[in-house]
Structure formats: C-alpha cells, structure tokens
Amino acid sequence: MPDTRNAKVILMTSGGLNPQIMINALARQFPKLHVIQENYETKREIYRRRVRRLGRLTALGQLATMSLSRVGKNLAIRRTEEILEEYKLWAGESKGVPVTRVETLNSKDTQALIQRLQPDVVFLISCRPLSRGTLAAIRCPLLNFHAGINPTYRGQMGGYWSRVERDEENFGATVHLVDIGIDTGDTLYEVRVKPSPRDTISTYPLLLTAAGTGIAAQAIEDAINGTLQPRRPAGRSELRFPPPVWTYLRHGLTRGIW
C-alpha cells in the first residue's frame, strides 16, 4: 500500500477563507501538499460571463446578492468562529505549505508546472472550470470539492438552494471526479449536515467546507491507494447560480432563508 504521507498532492484554487480551511486540514494528513493559486475573477469578468449565459438583468441581480453576501460575512464573524471551533479547524495561512501563484489555472505555465511536479493526486476547490488543455496536462486522479449535493445542486450556492426548495435533507457537500462539465463527474463521497438557524448564504459554504474536510481527505487517500469507487449520482441535474437579489430578499423576508 502506498505511503500517503509521501504522496504528492496538488490543491488548485482561487483562494479565500474556505479553501484555506481545506488546505490546513489536508496538510495535516498529506505533508507534501502543494497549492497552485490563481487570481480571482474580477466582478467585471463574472458579470460578462453571466450576461452571456443568463442575460443582463439576472446578472445584475446576482451581483447585488453577492455584494449583500459580503456584508453578511462581516456580520457573521461569530458564527464563523463557532463553525471553526466545532470542527476543530484553523483558517490562518499555513507557512509550511508551498504556494505557487499563477494568473490562471488554464495557462500554459500552469500546465507545465503540473507536469513538472508530477502529482499523485490533484484536488480542486473554489476555482474556475479547467480547460481541456489543463485537463490533458493532469495525468493522475483529478478530484473536486463541491459545496452542494450533485447532480441536483451543481454550480454555486448548493446549500442555499436546498433550503429554498425545502430539501434540507440534501444540505450537503460532494467530492467527485472531474470531467469537462461543471460538477458533472462521478461522485466519490457525500456529507450532509443540518444548518444552524444562524446560518445564512454567507456561512452555508463555510459550514459545508468544514463538514467536508473528512471526505476530501478520504477521497485523496483512496486515489493514492488506487481504491476509488466512483458512482453515478441519481436525481435531476441542475446548474445553480447565486440568487438574484429579488429572489434572495423574497425568501429572506417571507421564509427567513437568508
């Protein structure tokens, strides 16, 4: 059986609080973890992409919700601390984990870096979809952490939408294999939790990330050991986006789902 502590694991991300929590949790089990972090997409880039897919009005409404969500994160500091304490996690920067910063994960330089590092496993969390060129550069198991239960809550804000749809038994997270689609690869593990009445759209992803650190580590270990058991998840497949602000306010004011 391979020695998981000597395995080379790459974590690819755009950065942020939730990925940092995952990095710190995984680094305890996989000391040779190496992070490749791309730059955040700008609001302008996100807006243009959403306009192409959803139209100008919906894209503007989603940006308004994202702005409210950032305000909510500042108001949810105490709940954030409670989640970290409950799961015994740390959100500070880990000095012992090497981080290579790149413009985008889909650049030629990133693809060359992956081939040079020769990882045993690549793990994604909170990053852009990978291009066909980057996917082709990865010659090992490629896994993704998704804060939602696939395939019904693919995309973004899976926890929020499970609550809106009165489907709280599927308030959870998924670790799955990566293919060319968005959260369409076969499922490896799922975890489900019950949100606190104090949780909101600002803390749902944090709660799911914290709850999902265990299944993330288990999936990586399986990949190293060659014991992955992917399965095709059941249910309707739907790609989710942040709610436009009018939807967010309606469910918040009428049902207390913020």
DSSP string, 23-89: HHHHHHH-TTEEEEEEPPPPHHHHHHHHHHHH-HHHHHHHHHHHHHHHHHHHHTHHHHHHHHHHTT-
Asked if residue 236 has pLDDT above 70, the reply is: yes
User: Domain limits at 71?
Assistant: 4-255
For residue 70, the model assigns a pLDDT of 76
Provide mean pLDDT across the span 102-127: 97
- Alpha-carbon Rg of the chain, whole angstroms? 18
Question: 131, 114 in Cβ contact below 8 A?
Answer: no
Asked if residue 133 has pLDDT above 80, the reply is: yes
Asked if residue 209 has pLDDT above 80, the reply is: yes
Provide mean pLDDT across the span 177-181: 96
The per-residue pLDDT of the chain, averaged, comes to 95
Write the pLDDT tens digit of every residue in 217-231.
Answer: 999 999 999 999 999
Asked if residue 28 has pLDDT above 70, the reply is: yes
Asked if residue 44 has pLDDT above 90, the reply is: no
CATH code: domain of residue 101: 3.40.50.170
For residue 95, the model assigns a pLDDT of 86
Asked if residue 163 has pLDDT above 90, the reply is: yes
Helices (H), 76-177: 77-86, 108-117, 132-137, 158-164
**Is there a cis peptide before residue 233, judged by omega within 30 degrees of 0?**
no
pLDDT confidence band for 4 (50 / 70 / 90): confident
pLDDT confidence band for 1 (50 / 70 / 90): low
For residue 45, the model assigns a pLDDT of 86
Asked if residue 151 has pLDDT above 80, the reply is: yes
What is the reported pTM? 0.94
Number of independent structural domains in the chain? 1
